[in-house]
């Protein structure tokens, strides 16, 4: 269900439409799933984030903010990423829940005793079946098959943007749980820039 963007007349119009789509999308996030996700982030000894393509970029953004909030956070695939094990959490963002490179990662993490959280459009996907925690985000898939949301945006943009907003909201909830504010977090900001 994709609208043609031709009815809009400029960049500001497109931005307003995207913001409206996001407002609609985030209203559909299940509060219980969101709270369970924040709790999992809070209790994990180490948090590992993964995703492919733009979802992978959102995963890197989550790892960065988790580090700022005092978590031991790592991006899967980086050269300095340690091994995963019991007490750790692997967070995978995948709209389809079928990303072939991510499935073996989830299987290995489970094998090694880590918890797996999957944030996806498809709670009945392969990745979701491997997860101990699933967060279903509303949105539109790249293929537009069986979508409940209409979007003017290409491919998986609505999911990826909703994913970033969900991750940022989860960090805000984590900050609240830990009694952190932006000033205290800034002390962990990169300073070799």
2 within some domain: no
186 within some domain: no
Helix (H) or strand (E) holding 94: none
Residue 36 pLDDT > 70: yes
Annotated catalytic residue 160: yes
The domain in which residue 30 lies consists of: 11-178
We report the CATH number of the domain holding residue 159 as 3.40.50.10490
Residue 142 pLDDT > 90: no
4 within some domain: no
DSSP string, 99-136: -TTTHHHHHHHHHTT-EEEEEES-TTSHHHHT-SEEEE
Residue 146 pLDDT > 60: no
119 within some domain: yes
Residue 80 pLDDT > 60: yes
Kindly state the average pLDDT of the residues 41-58: 96
Percent of the chain with pLDDT over 70: 87
126: phi then psi, degrees, rounded to nearest 5: -60, -50
Residue 151 pLDDT > 60: yes
| Annotated catalytic residue, options 24, 150, 160, 193 | 160
Residue 112 pLDDT > 80: yes
60 within some domain: yes
Residue 106 pLDDT > 60: yes
29 within some domain: yes
pLDDT of residue 1: 42
| Other Cβ atoms closer than 10 A to 163 | 29
Beta strand 115-120 pairing with 89-93 = parallel
Between CA 170 and CA 183 the distance in angstroms is 18
What is the tally of structural domains in the chain? 1
Residue 153 pLDDT > 80: no
Residue 137 pLDDT > 90: yes
List the single range of 41-50, 61-70, 93-102, 153-162 with lowest mean pLDDT.
Answer: 153-162
91 within some domain: yes
> What is the average pLDDT value for the chain, to the nearest integer?
88
pLDDT band per the 50, 70, 90 thresholds, residue 192: low
188 within some domain: no
């Amino acid at each position: 269900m994709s609208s043609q963007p031709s009815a809009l007349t400029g960049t500001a119009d497109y931005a307003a439409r995207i913001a409206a789509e996001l407002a609609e999308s985030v209203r559909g996030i299940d509060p219980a799933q969101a709270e369970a996700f924040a709790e999992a982030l809070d209790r994990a000894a180490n948090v590992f984030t993964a995703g492919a393509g733009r979802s992978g970029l959102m995963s890197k953004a989550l790892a960065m903010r988790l580090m700022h909030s005092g978590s031991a956070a790592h991006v899967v695939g980086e050269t300095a990423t340690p091994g995963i094990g019991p007490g750790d959490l692997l967070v995978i963002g995948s709209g389809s829940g079928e990303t072939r490179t991510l499935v073996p990662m989830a299987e290995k993490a489970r094998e090694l005793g880590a918890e797996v959280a999957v944030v996806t459009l498809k709670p009945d996907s392969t990745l979701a079946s491997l997860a101990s925690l699933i967060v279903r985000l509303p949105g539109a898939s790249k293929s537009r098959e069986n979508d409940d949301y209409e979007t003017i945006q290409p491919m998986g943009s609505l999911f990826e943007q909703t994913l970033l907003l969900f991750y940022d909201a989860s960090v805000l909830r984590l900050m609240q749980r830990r009694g952190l504010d932006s000033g205290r977090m800034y002390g962990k900001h990169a300073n070799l820039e």
